[in-house]
Amino acid sequence: MEPLIDVKHLVKNFGDLVAVDDLSFSVFQGDVYGFLGQNGAGKSTTLRMILSLILPSSGTIRLFGQELSTNRKSVLKRVGAVIERPDLYKYLSAIENLSIFARMSGRKATSRQLIEQLEMVGLADRAKSKVATYSQGMKQRLGIAVALVHNPDLVILDEPTNGLDPQGIADMRNLILHLSKDLHKTVVVSSHLLNEIEQIASRMIILDKGKKMVEGTVADFFQPAKNKVHLVVSDPQKAKLMLAQTPWLLEAEQLKQELVLSLPPDQVPALNRFLVQQEIDILSIRSVNSLEDYFLSLTSENQHVATFTN
């Protein structure tokens, strides 16, 4: 299958700064492709090059099988994008904004079609409200409606959950899934929120300092052998003594009654049975193999853990 986006050896320099460093990746039809990395990892710079907003220092970008540099106009007609905050007319209503952008894209849309577009992003009841009265989350959703007004095959969203509250983040997640599953769009979404990407992406890339660390499916990224099991038990000291006689290894640091072990998920039932046989009450047990753990295992700057929170 030919990729919708095919990037080869992409480089972008800003003076002495190498923002994107020999980056290659592919996005295929139907993907929800997660672009993951810390702030400053090169995500937005790469997406801007794909949209021809800035020129690469070297490397090639192909969209829909065509070279971007020589077919810019024709291929970008098939792309919708929101980069950073959407650029909207604040003192016009949502439907007026949508109508203007529809005409700019060459689409002749009826009022009913525009309302349907706003219904899709949950803004139909505020269609005639000025954008200046919108919350940040509503502006983000209207920006996506604008990006979709010409019915693109590929949708690119750069940090779409920035500035949103938890409900806004959940709404954005559901909207992206709707674009993929119901409207059959290919979606590229960048974020530094690991948990969000983990929930929506079918494939992803992890960037660090402009370099590709790894690319693949979400399942590919997890390492079952490094799965962590968190136990809260009635008698942690007894549990430690009993577990010391088994092949299962406890982590060095423990939290009060909680014990942490590294073992594959398929061994969790055996661990549970063993502790019950030793008459140790298990108050809770949970298996953790998060994208955050995997990301931090790949990157050198583990001190930035605080960046990756919801």
Task: Centre a 10 Å sphere on the Cβ of residue 62 and count the other Cβ atoms it contains.
Answer: 19
Q: Are 274 and 246 in contact (CB under 8 A)?
A: yes
> Within a 13 Å sphere around the CA of 101, how many CA atoms are in the beta-carbon half?
26
Same fold for the domain at 5-219 and the one at 224-288?
no
pLDDT tens digits along 254-292: 556 688 887 777 788 888 889 889 888 888 887 766 566
Architecture of domain 224-288: 2-Layer Sandwich (3.30)
pLDDT of residue 256: 62
pLDDT tens digits along 36-62: 888 888 999 999 999 999 999 999 999
Better-predicted residue by pLDDT, 18 or 136: 18
Q: Where are the domains of the chain?
A: 5-219, 224-288
The CA-based angle 229-231-232, given to 5 degrees, is 160
Nearest to 160 by CA among 185, 184, 177: 177
Tokens matching residue 85: 């905050």
Better-predicted residue by pLDDT, 26 or 39: 26
pTM over 0.85: no
pLDDT of residue 300: 52
User: Is 50 exceeded by the pLDDT of residue 192?
Assistant: yes
pLDDT band at 304 (very low <50, low <70, confident <90, very high): very low
Please provide the CATH number assigned to the domain covering 5-219: 3.40.50.300
The CA-based angle 230-166-136, given to 5 degrees, is 155
pLDDT of residue 303: 42
pLDDT of residue 94: 95
Which range in 90-94, 118-122, 234-238 is most confidently predicted, on average pLDDT?
Answer: 90-94
The CA-based angle 67-71-73, given to 5 degrees, is 140
pLDDT band at 215 (very low <50, low <70, confident <90, very high): confident
Tokens matching residue 93: 């209503």
User: Is 60 exceeded by the pLDDT of residue 180?
Assistant: yes
Q: Are 75 and 64 in contact (CB under 8 A)?
A: yes
Rg of the Cα atoms in the chain: 23
| Three-class secondary structure assignment of the chain | CCCCEEEEEEEEEECCEEEEEEEEEEECCCCEEEEECCCCCCHHHHHHHHCCCCCCCEEEEEECCEEHHHCHHHHHCCEEEEECCCCCCCCCEHHHHHHHHHHHHCCCCCHHHHHHHHHHCCCHHHCCCEHHHCCHHHHHHHHHHHHHCCCCCEEEEECCCCCCCHHHHHHHHHHHHHHHHCCCCEEEEEECCHHHHHHHCCEEEEEECCEEEEEEEHHHHCCHHHCEEEEEECCHHHHHHHHCCCCCEECCCCECCEEEEECCHHHHHHHHHHHHHCCCCEEEEEEECCHHHHHHHHCCCHHHHHHCCC
Are β-strands 32-36 and 203-208 bridged in parallel, bridged antiparallel, or unpaired?
parallel
User: Is 90 exceeded by the pLDDT of residue 170?
Assistant: no
User: Is 70 exceeded by the pLDDT of residue 307?
Assistant: no
pLDDT of residue 25: 96
Beta bridge partners of residue 282, listed in sequence order: 233
Tokens matching residue 106: 């060459």
